[in-house]
Structures are given as C-alpha cells and as structure tokens.
Chain A
Amino acid sequence: MQIKSGVLLLLSRIILGIVFLISGILKLIDPVQFSEAILNYQVVGRVLSGWIAVIIPTLEIVLGLGLVSGVWLPEALIATAGLYVIFDVMIAQALLRGLDISCGCFNPSESGPIDFFKIMQNLILTGLSFGSVFLLFRQTDKIKI
C-alpha cells in the first residue's frame, strides 16, 4: 500500500509539474497579452493585473520545477493546490457573471471561450493537486494542525 501511493504521488506531481512548466513558459512569451487576459476577468484593475501577469508565469515555472524535482515538495503541492483554487474561483465568477471571455489558462493567446472542456481540464488538475497533497501527508505518522 505504501509503495502504491508513492507511485501515484510521483505520477501526479510529474503531471502537475509539466503542466505548470509548459503553461508558465507559454505565458512568458507575451506578458502584455497575459495581463490583458487577466483584465478580461474584470476582477482587478490595471496595476494589479500587471503585477499578477508578472508573478504568475514565473510562479508556475518555479512550482513546476519543485513538483518535478521533488524539492520543497509539500510547499510546492500546497501552493499548486491553492493556485488552482484561485483559478477555479476566477473561472466560476466569470461564468456566473456571463463574461464572454477567453480562458487564458494554459495558453494566453488562444481565443476560444471558456467551454466545458477547459472547465473539466481545470477541475481535473485541481483534483489532482489536492489528491497529491492528501497522499503526501498521508505518508506521515502523525499530523497535528
């Protein structure tokens, strides 16, 4: 049982890591375009969108590296899960408000609207990250919060 969850954990963190590395690099291609994509969600103003556009791509790459290499794994996994929660909330509010915008989740230059496929994609990755966190901490003897 111990070995199985270890393998599962390895698999999920590699997948999450690679997804983050690719999406981070794609976002770095055109920072201005990414900040415009963030503005589309109409949650933050221009300055904050700019800051988010500065931090998120490099954050994804840093987290991706951590996930793939296993360095600072608990922190990387928690941060990954947190980031996905934020993404889900953003998408959810965009849908609720009826905003007809492009996701900008993986590739900021794609123009397709937020469709079922993209929502599923994000939810699966969110689930994977939370599952990994659970698997990781299940391997401990005691957990005191």
Chain B
Amino acid sequence: MPYSSFPTKRILTRIILILLISMVFGLLYNQFHPNGLHWRYLFNFTAYNQDLVGSHYVVISADSAMVLMEVKNLNIIDTRLAEDYSLDHIIGSVHVPLQYFLTGQFVKKLPEQGSSVLLYDENGDLDMLKFTFSLLSEQGYKEVYFLYGGYFSWLAKGFPIE
C-alpha cells in the first residue's frame, strides 16, 4: 500500500474510533454481565464530594463500634464476599455483599428505614464504603458508621464474632 504522504490524520482518527468502539462495547458488556462493573461504580463513584443534606457518615474504630453496639440498636452490615462472611463475621451482622450494592439488589436486604447502620468490609476501604454510603443515604438512612480498619481491626481486638 504505497502512500504519497504519511496519513497521520487518518491513522489517528481510526485509532480513536477503535478506542471508542471498544469503550462502548465494553460498557454494554459490563452492564449486562452478572459480575460486571456497574455504571454506578464508574460514574457515581467519586460523586460523593459534597455533603448530602441530612445524612453523613462517621468513621469509628472497633472500640467505639463495640460501645455503640451496646448503646444503640445498631444494624451491622457486612459487605464482604459470601465465603468470607460464612467463615466468620461480626456477631449479629447481616450479609449484603458489595456486589448487591453495585447491581441494586441491596434494597431487598436492608434493615428498617431510619435505623442506624454500621458498615464494614474486610479492611476498611473507604472508597467503597463511601460508595455504599451514597447508595444507602439515597434510601433514607441517616446514621451510617464506617468501621475503620474493617473486619480485620475487629478480629485484632478479639471482639465477638460468630
């Protein structure tokens, strides 16, 4: 294929087109795949910048969580994988895996509205906790606590598990 001059523009355009096509197909595929990355994960993720009026999260340590559990009627949510939850989990916690939040199924497994919620994952990944929180606050949960250091910090303290 002889070229009289190097068709940089055409090549660049086509490469960009290839990238766009891949992106569109990739997004569509992920949307329908059961273990695909939900669009909320990709777009909404860092959307929690400003304070959602009326609800905010509080990061607490394992010690504070232990105290809080006794003072309040706290609903504890475990967002880890099913196999991790079945191995052991914080006593009295409900299993709502992160996948459920990504796909919207979490609504079925939530405790009564308006109650206070303690969220925890394996090691306290704040990004994912904030994402989960943004979905919870949309559902009307005003009091949400994050367990700092996640399940590992609870284990390290030797607090009750089952």
Contact = CB atoms under 8 A, between A and B. Distances in A.
Direct contact of A and B (CB under 8 A): yes
A50 B15 contact: no
Interface string A42-79: 00011100110111111101110010000010111011
A2 interface: no
Nearest to A145: B6
B26 A57 contact: yes
B32 to A, nearest CB: 11
Closest 5 A-B residue pairs measured CB to CB? A59-B22, A54-B26, A58-B26, A141-B2, A75-B14
Interface in A88-139: 139
A28 interface: yes
B119 to A, nearest CB: 17
A75 B26 contact: no
Contacts of A31: 29-30, 33, 35-37
Interface of A: 28, 30-33, 35, 45-47, 50-51, 53-59, 61-63, 66, 72, 74-76, 78-79, 139-145
A109 to B, nearest CB: 12
A58 B2 contact: no
Given A55-B22, A58-B25, A59-B18, A50 B41 contact: yes
A58 to B, nearest CB: 4
B156 interface: no
Interface residues of B, number: 31
Contacts of A32: 35-37, 99
Contacts of A63: 18
A76 B22 CA distance: 13
Contacts of A141: 2-3
Contacts of B45: 46-47, 50
A26 to B, nearest CB: 14
B11 A78 contact: yes
B37 to A, nearest CB: 5
Nearest to A29: B35
- In this complex, the member of A50, A54, A74 whose beta carbon has the largest number of chain B beta carbons within 10 angstroms is A54
Given A35-B37, A57-B26, A144 B6 contact: yes
A51 B42 contact: yes
Interface in B3-40: 3-6, 8, 11, 14-15, 18-19, 21-23, 25-27, 29-30, 33, 35-37
Given A55-B23, A58-B29, A144-B6, 4 more contacts: A54-B42, A58-B22, A75-B11, A144-B5
A82 to B, nearest CB: 8
A28 B1 contact: no
14 contacts: A32-B99, A35-B37, A45-B127, A46-B45, A47-B45, A51-B42, A54-B37, A55-B26, A72-B18, A74-B1, A79-B18, A142-B4, A143-B3, A143-B6
Contacts of A55: 19, 22-23, 26
